Amino acid sequence: MENQHIIVRVATPDDIHYSNTITDEMESSAKARGTGIAKRSPDYVELKMREGKAVIAVTDKGDWVGFCYIEAWGHEKFVANSGLIVNPAFRGHGVAKSIKKRIFELSREKYPDAKIFGLTTGLAVMKINSELGYEPVTYSELTDDEEFWKGCRSCVNFDILTAKNRKNCLCTAMLYNPLEKLKEAEEKAMADKAAPAQPDPVPQPQFSVSASGHMHHARRRRRFKGNIKLYERWLRFKRFVLLKSKKEGGATGSKKKFFLF
Ligand SMILES: CC(C)(COP(=O)(O)OP(=O)(O)OC[C@H]1O[C@@H](n2cnc3c(N)ncnc32)[C@H](O)[C@@H]1OP(=O)(O)O)[C@@H](O)C(=O)NCCC(=O)NCCS
């Protein structure tokens, strides 16, 4: 590829001529990966551009490079950054990372109190989301807005989602909770403030033994950030279990019970 400058910016109505290219690429990429996605129409992509709720990447020569958009759900309590797609000719150069960062900032500007979430089967997206501060969550922590879940109807795995009573599917749910982040920042600030008085860190017990002899482990939140191997294994495990159960008895007919997430 010859040297080209890539610009990542908020999309405008001037970008609507890219909409067919974008939706065609979304569809062919999903087919190539053999995974499901919620289908998007060019009209919908155009709407997002007109609303200023999309981020586009283009070259200085006007070639389309990438795209992503914002959707608000549950009376704007939740925001999803959806439809991430990068032109195959420009993959592996950090474009998705830049787009996701910009759309995340735009989401925080437009909906500062909303929880930001995403559903994905992609390891790259999990990696990027982790770096932005998202955490893996159960589906029950996502929006219950029916309109959002209707988007899954066009996905090839919709029967699995239905069979699992919307509690699980091949996608992994990830969430950025601004309130939790604020709390974490406050706690860190307090700890930093208190630090000069205690130059030597006091070792915290990781478990204790009660008078009855029971052992209690200190509850520690599992940190997924950077633990990509874990994500990889998790995705493989999910595919194995959910697709196996679909094959064995149809998504709804499996006798086996699996408790994931
Ligand atoms: C997934 C996709 C958006 C990644 O775009 P990209 O511009 O190549 O990604 P980036 O170069 O920004 O990579 C971001 C990170 O993910 C990693 N990554 C990229 N593709 C990956 C893959 N297929 N598997 C594992 N990791 C991957 C990169 O190594 C990078 O990590 P690093 O910062 O530690 O090096 C692109 O491949 C695509 O459009 N795929 C089809 C559509 C799709 O899957 N969309 C996501 C739906 S949820």
- Residue 81 carries which side chain, given as an amino acid letter? N
CA 245 to chain centre: 25
Q: Tell how far the Cα of 95 is from the centroid of ligand 1, in angstroms.
A: 8
Non-local (6+) Cβ contacts of 101 within 8 A are 132
Q: Is 130 in the pocket of ligand 1 (CB under 6 A)?
A: no
Q: At 226, is the pLDDT very low, low, confident or very high (cuts 50, 70, 90)?
A: low
| Helix (H), strand (E) counts: the chain | 8, 9
- State the distance from the centre of ligand 1 to the C-alpha of 122, rounded, in angstroms: 8
Query: Average pLDDT for residues 170-199, to the nearest whole number?
Result: 88
pLDDT of residue 225: 57
Least confident residue range of 36-50, 66-80, 196-210, 218-232: 196-210
Mean pLDDT throughout 198-214?
55
* Count of C-beta atoms within a 10 Å radius of residue 219: 5
Task: Evaluate if residue 170 carries a pLDDT over 60.
Answer: yes
> Domain ranges in the chain?
6-180+223-252
Calculate what percentage of the chain has a pLDDT beyond 70. 79
Closest ligand 1 atom to Cα of 83: 47
What is the per-residue DSSP string for 150-210?
Answer: HGGGGSTTHHHHHHTTTS--SSEEEEE-HHHHHHHHHHHHHHHHHGGG-SSPPPPPSEEE-
| 31-55 pLDDT, tens digit each | 887 765 667 899 999 999 999 999 9
Residue 119 in contact with ligand 1 by CB distance below 6 A: no
Q: How far is the CA of 23 from the centre of ligand 1 (A)?
A: 18
Q: Which atom of ligand 1 is nearest to the CA of 124?
A: 16
Nearest CA to ligand 1 atom 34: 127
- Ligand 1 pocket test: which of 6, 55, 97 has the largest number of ligand atoms within 8 Å of its C-beta? 97
Atom from ligand 1 closest to the CA of residue 93: 11
**Residue 90 confidence (pLDDT) above 90:** yes
Cα distance between residue 184 and residue 201, in whole Å: 19
Average pLDDT over residues 157-179: 93
Query: Looking at residue 213, what DSSP letter applies?
Result: S
Statement: residue 17 has pLDDT above 60 = yes
Mean pLDDT lowest among 121-135, 174-188, 215-229: 215-229
For ligand 1, atom 21: residue with the closest CA? 124
Residue 48 CB partners (closer than 8 Å, separation 6+): 11, 54, 69, 70
Architecture of domain 6-180+223-252: 3-Layer(aba) Sandwich (3.40)
Tell me which of 84, 169, 235 to substitute to probe ligand 1's pocket, judged by most ligand atoms within 8 Å of the beta carbon. Answer: 84
Confidence label for 197 from pLDDT (cuts 50, 70 and 90): low
